[in-house]
Amino acid sequence: MKRLFLLFFIVAASLAAKAQAEAEDNKGDDHMVFNPEFGVNATHYVGTGNNYRLGYTLAAHFRIGTDFYVQAGAAFTKYAVNSNVHTDDTSYVAGTFSDISSYYVQFPLMAGLKLVNLEHLNFRVAGGYVPSIYLGSDLRDATLSTNDFNRTIHAIRVGAGMDVLILTLNAYFDWGVTDVFEQPKDVNYYQLTLAAGIRIF
């Protein structure tokens, strides 16, 4: 995973340099955007039973580039599920579902393309990588403890969005590629996020 992250970082740095060079060639266009946003998400733990609950994300991103762009930022995100995921603790009763709310700081890094790029409207698609750092959980009556969570998790992200005047709308789909828990094993996640914000600069 470290090698994958290093490779992605090198590629992203190269793409950022290309986007910046493109921006220099297109001065007068919107080549740098700061985008604070708030959104809701739905998370699914793969390999477990799930009932969906809504979480949320509070994020801020920079986009650099004109038609082609690179996006980097940070987000505080709540993952919320009602799940039967559990350890081998003998206190677990088969079929029991528990509310699990977990909190992460994410650092998404993406590269994208504006398919429509007008003065007051654009439509974008992008893909990238999202490392997340675990902060803590509200576990209610779950048999899990905070010690069962991996301290970092990683995901591949695809997304689409649009800017209308100063308003932004974004949709992201994250596919987890590492285990969420130290125990139980082999549980990763999918997450869909819908977010709205404003663009500055």
Domain boundaries, the chain: 2-198
Return the CA Rg of the chain. Answer: 19
State the pTM of this model: 0.81
Token pair of 27 as six digits: 């001065």
- Tell me the average pLDDT across 105-129: 94
Token pair of 103 as six digits: 């909190």
**How many other CB atoms are found less than 10 A from the CB of residue 75?**
22
Token pair of 195 as six digits: 């977010």
What are the start-end ranges of the E strands in the chain? 32-45, 50-52, 54-65, 68-83, 98-106, 109-117, 121-138, 152-164, 167-176, 189-198
Which class does domain 2-198 fall in? Answer: mainly beta
Token pair of 179 as six digits: 């285990």
Helix %, strand %, coil % for the chain, to 5?
Answer: 15, 60, 25
Which 3 state secondary structure label does DSSP give 169?
strand
Task: Identify the bridge partners of residue 26 per DSSP, sorted by sequence position.
Answer: none
Of residues 76 and 16, the one with the higher pLDDT is 76
Task: Flag whether pLDDT at 140 surpasses 90.
Answer: no
- Tell me the average pLDDT across 36-56: 90
Task: Flag whether pLDDT at 112 surpasses 70.
Answer: yes
CA atoms within 13 A on the CB side of 35: 27
User: Binning pLDDT at 50, 70 and 90, where does residue 43 land?
Assistant: very high
Distance separating alpha carbons of residues 164 and 1, to the nearest angstrom: 37
- Tell me the average pLDDT across 107-130: 94
Query: Is the N-terminal amide bond of 184 cis, ω within 30° of 0?
Result: yes
